[in-house]
Chain A
Amino acid sequence: MSAHTVEKLVYMANQIARNVTHEPDPVAMIADHIHAFWSARMKADVFAVLDGPAGAALEPTARAALDRLAAHAC
């Protein structure tokens, strides 16, 4: 997939993170949201870049949520 698509996925994850900062457990909230609404390929695409420069652009809570989901996925 293109850099543009990955950039968008990272943006989406960050946007979710910025909107749930006041939830009691933001990381769980982000993880649930992505689990429920993203297609398998979208998830796989973003898991694949977690350790690269694109992943570095993730908000800490979004990063933690994706790590949690990635761990479950494999």
Chain B
Amino acid sequence: MDVERETYRPQPDFGTPEVRGAATVTLTIDGREVSVAPGTTVMRAAAVSGGSIPKLCATDSVKQFGSCRLCLVEIDGMRGTPASCTTLVADGMKVHTQTKRLEKLRRGVMELYISDHPLDCLTCSANNDCELQDQAAAVGLRDVRYGYEGENHLAQPMDISNPYFDFDPSKCIVCSRCVRACDEVQGTLALTIESRGFGSKVSAGLASDSFLSSECVSCGACVQACPTATLQEKSVKEIGKPERATVTTCAYCGVGCTFRAETRGEEVVRMVPWKDGKANRGHSCVKGRFAWGYAQHQERVLSPMIRSSIDEPWQEVSWDEAIARTASELKRISAKYGRNALGGITSSRCTNEETFLVQKLVRAGFGTNNVDTCARVCHSPTGYGLKTTFGTSAGTQDFDSVEDSDVILVIGANPTDGHPVFASRMKRRLRQGAKLIVIDPRRTDLVRSPHISADYHLPLRPGTNVAVLTALAHVIVTEGLADEAFVRERCDWEEYRHWADFVSLERNSPEFLEPVTGVPAADLRGAARLFAKGGNGAIYYGLGVTEHSQGSSTVMAIANLAMATGNIGRRGVGVNPLRGQNNVQGACDMGSFPHELSGYRHVSDAAARALFEAEWGARIDPEPGLRINNMLDAATDGLFKAIYIQGEDILQSDPDTKHVAAGLAAMECVIVQDLFLNETANYAHVFLPGSTFLEKNGTFTNAERRIQPVRKVMEPKNGYEDWQITQLLAQAMGLDWAYTHPREIMDEIARLTPTFAGVSFARLDAEGSLQWPVNEAAPDGSPIMHIDGFVRGKGKFVVTDYVPTDERTGPRFPLLLTTGRILSQYNVGAQTRRTANVVWHPEDLLEIHPTDAENRGIKSGDWVRLASRSGETTLRATVTDRVAPGVVYTTFHHPVTQANVITTDYSDWATNCPEYKVTAVQITPSNGPTDWQEEYEAQATRSRRIKGPNSSEERGAMEPAE
């Protein structure tokens, strides 16, 4: 399969979905013999064998419907002309797809369609990329007998409300592919076919609804399914038909959808989900599908800049000058304050290769282990918890596994917003009848959505995850529901007994804990029984688990539950962290933590160190380095002076903004490498412009440990790919790096990392993706882990005692704030805020329960002051019973909200992952921004001034609207 830049042609369409199973049915189609799995349609069998039957209403992303009658065939021994898309294969069947009789019938059908379709093909934006046109040609339609005078749909107005695609009903042939795509692929059920017969038309919900005002989440599935130009990307109209297609990986979330970047010249026309992508299987969400325009945004910085103090305006300089200055500053600081005054931050948004190089530069070049990554603030407890219990810092399943789950337990995750494409697959399984348990303080969309209703929603008080999980374990153990046979065989029995005795204590019963967790004991018991006895049980979790003072304990409690019920080591079960950013898994794998080399080997491990020292020709410190928060503490103490930050905005994403600002302000050299002047750059002395995922080669690793290629579709506008910038810096610091392509970096990673031993770019090109471990024991990778035994040997049960957070409500701060994210925006929003996605989320809103709102005289839309021990901010309220009384909720996608001014510096006991999900707050009516917001804004504006290279003229702030 050659997936490197190929000439554009549409992806093959087999007409109906693939059926899993062995190819045991053999039939003949137009004289060609073909074997397929039972249950396959004649249409698909024909396509598989290289033929092609005309079709309009069938496409392989949705179930066959049989409405257009274009796909008729003749079958020996069968009367009439059955539709091939609804006829299943049978052994020995003889099918004829091209006969005179069929030709005539098909032409008749086609004529009817075309007579109600504008014949402006030559000027249509879909010209030469339209199935209707192709099929008309395929059936040999030359003229139309019905004329266009009669009643038709040609004058209907277009719906252009969606920022990314248009709906032109005059071109619609009412094949309902869009409706079925929205139902089956996306699961939103936003579209319907209104009325019947000739008057029928596609509609986004109510008659008055446009796409934008409807339930539509802009995933693009309908656009992809549409055979005509009725639903089409605006960008195709603007730019024209693509010429080339390159398969690459989405740079937004941890689902890791693969796309075909379809380009014309150096311009991206559209991103279309790749059908062969194993993570997304041809589906996408609004971010990856449409929100890639930030690469061209006017605020993107393309020249390096320096300044000697953050009060000065930026000065644009050449790359040579910027790199030379950075290297000399780093050397000066190292000489003056010692090597441990230096450090670096790797990014989960950058590739594996880039991340690997940053930590290599820090360890081998700076000579310190002070390297950390933003995964610290999201999934570090996953690494700790799963390594302790199972032996591997990663999830156990591939995404396909959910197709075999019977009970799905979702805790602290909001997949429909955070991991939309996986959520669609999960919802499909739920519509097929799998049971659902949701543990979340908020009534997330998953709890109740079209054709889905959670069997149990346990709306716990924020901060009581461990108590709820222990109570579930209490029910399972005391009611004899545990899978002791599994435990005896696979886990340490003594440790299990110790744990089982602990969870059985009366103080861990649901009844005893109800006042603490707020979860009705009867519901909790019901959920426990369902999970233990409902068949294959799979647990999916997100940041609502990790970002707590007991984040690591919660991950271990989840692992305990999976082991106790025997739900590990096969399809349909497992423990599945849903990763936030695209390459969180990869950043962790690549040795971004201060105590670990790539592949999770501790720096005190002399054998591992020796391997790296030999390869790198440098000594590696056997002592762990500083974590981000400790670097900042050391900076305020005057001991930490320089930091190299690649692709991260720690000022906006890390807790307790004021503390982060103070730490950064105390440093002598802050180097930020990013696309935009982000918030952290307000405290930077060197700005190195970065490249987007469309401008570089490399790999990302998604939440299922799947390593997937990122391919360059255009030259970096800033001049260099990010790994090249790190290499320039390393060379200027005297290191002899000479990589010419990221594939050489991957080769080095494979040499040094046992779980990556079998990974190479050549294999990734040939196989599309690989799931680590890929090595001698698992030459083809590992979709599912711990099949015959745990990586650590015996599974380890760890007692997880509920220890309440020190963040408590009281008279001054009586409410609990928890934070999350929404579909259209991504993380701190640096990219999505610079796309049309802002139409769905122009600002962060505070959700508050009607009772709490009424007590405070607050209505939806009012400005409110949100205050905690750490600070205060203002934003607008929305009154909703999605949150329980006593709980408020907001997102943190917009810097002006400064939600992290509110969050405290409490963190996970084992990993210091910040406790974003619980902050005691007070809400009061307000009439505008706080002093801090205004001061911050003024500082940001001042700090973003730029002087041109040859002029003294200053340009204004780069982000005026913020």
Contacts and interface: CB of A to CB of B under 8 A. Distances in A.
Contact of A5 (B370, B595, B604, B633): B633
Contacts of A53: none
Interface string A9-25: 00010011011011110
A24 B498 contact: yes
Contacts of B799: 22-23
Contacts of A42: 626, 630
A41 B340 contact: yes
A7 B905 CA distance: 13
Contact of B624 (A19, A23, A39): A39
Contacts of A33: 910
B637 A5 contact: yes
Contacts of A1: 634, 637, 639
B912 A19 contact: no
Interface in A20-71: 21-24, 33, 36-42
B604 A2 contact: no
Interface in B606-638: 623-626, 630, 633-634, 636-637
Contact of A21 (B498, B595, B801, B912): B801
Contacts of A19: 550, 553, 801, 803, 909-910
Nearest to B640: A41
Given A1-B637, A18-B909, A42-B630, A37 B623 contact: no
Interface in B766-814: 799, 801, 803
> Interface centre among B549, B553, B905, B910, by most A CB within 10 Å?
B910
A47 B801 CA distance: 28
Contacts of A15: 549, 909
Nearest to B631: A39
A39 B623 contact: yes
A64 B111 CA distance: 88
B594 A39 contact: yes
Contacts of B639: 1, 41
B633 A40 contact: no
A26 to B, nearest CB: 11
B369 interface: yes
Interface string B395-431: 0000000000000000000000000000000000000
A2 B637 contact: yes
B495 to A, nearest CB: 9
B663 to A, nearest CB: 11
A48 B549 CA distance: 26
Nearest to B636: A2
> Interface centre among B602, B905, B909, by most A CB within 10 Å?
B909
Contacts of A24: 498
Contact-residue size bin, chain B (C-beta under 8 Å from the other chain) = 20 to 34
Interface in B900-943: 905, 909-912
- DSSP class of A's interface residues: helix, strand, loop or mixed? helix
Contact of B910 (A4, A5, A16, A41): A16
A29 B184 CA distance: 50
A39 B502 CA distance: 33
Contacts of B909: 12, 15-16, 18-19
Contacts of B634: 1, 5, 41
Contacts of B630: 39, 42
Contacts of A2: 636-637
Contacts of A5: 633-634, 636-637
Given A18-B909, A19-B910, A37 B498 contact: no
A4 B633 CA distance: 9
A37 B803 contact: no
B959 to A, nearest CB: 32
B595 A36 contact: yes
Interface in B549-588: 549-550, 553
Nearest to A19: B909
A54 to B, nearest CB: 15
B801 A40 contact: no
A36 to B, nearest CB: 6
Contacts of A40: 623-624
A42 to B, nearest CB: 6
A52 B624 CA distance: 26
Nearest to A35: B604
A39 B912 CA distance: 14
> Interface centre among B502, B604, B637, by most A CB within 10 Å?
B637
Contacts of B803: 18-19
Interface in B313-349: 340
A7 B906 CA distance: 13
Contacts of A22: 502, 799, 801
Given A42-B626, A42-B630, 19 more contacts: A1-B639, A4-B636, A8-B905, A12-B909, A18-B909, A19-B909, A21-B801, A22-B502, A23-B799, A24-B498, A36-B595, A36-B602, A36-B604, A37-B624, A39-B340, A39-B369, A39-B623, A41-B626, A41-B634
28 contacts: A1-B637, A2-B637, A4-B636, A5-B636, A8-B633, A12-B909, A12-B912, A15-B549, A15-B909, A16-B909, A19-B553, A19-B801, A19-B909, A19-B910, A21-B801, A22-B799, A22-B801, A23-B799, A24-B498, A33-B910, A36-B595, A36-B604, A39-B340, A39-B623, A39-B625, A40-B623, A41-B340, A41-B639
Q: Which 7 A-B pairs have the closest CB atoms?
A: A22-B799, A40-B623, A15-B909, A19-B909, A1-B637, A5-B633, A39-B626
